[in-house]
Each structure stands twice: as C-alpha cells, then as structure tokens.
Amino acid sequence: MFYNIRRYTTGLDTISPDPGANAEWWWPGAPAPLVVWIVGTLSFGILVVLLARSASIGSRFPATAIIDVSPERTQPS
C-alpha cells in the first residue's frame, strides 16, 4: 500500500518514509497520504485478526446439528 500511494503521489523517483512527501498529485481536501496509509494498514491488520478469530471460533463450534425431517416425523400422531 505504501509503494502504491507513493507511486501515484510522487512517482518512484523519490525515496522518503512519507509516501506523500513532495506530492505532485493528491486531492486538496483529502487526508494526507501518510494518514491514508496508516489507517489503511491498521484497518487491514484488524480485519485479518477478526477473520482469524472468527475462523478459530468456527472450528471449535462446528455447525453439525442434524435435523430429522423424515415423513414419519412430520406427520401428526
């Protein structure tokens, strides 16, 4: 994400820890490229953790309930 933001803001000819340093192109009302990079990176990390936790919870409690819907069970007695 860092290199992609830097590629479109300054090109690949500038080396800087800030992807928007000396930006040649960026939206005037948008947050700074560094803010977008940090928020995007943190959001992706949180998503990965949540998906990993949801997968581990799903493996501990599998949905294997069997419901018997045979005709003799559905007829009233």
pLDDT at residue 43, as a whole number:
96
Query: What pTM, to 2 d.p., does this model score?
Result: 0.64
Q: Given the structure tokens 């990965």, which residue do they identify?
A: 48
The pLDDT tens digits for 5-41 are: 888 888 877 788 888 888 888 888 989 999 999 999 9
pLDDT at residue 62, as a whole number:
55
Q: Is the model's pLDDT at 61 over the cut of 60?
A: no
> CB count, 10 Å around CB of 2?
15
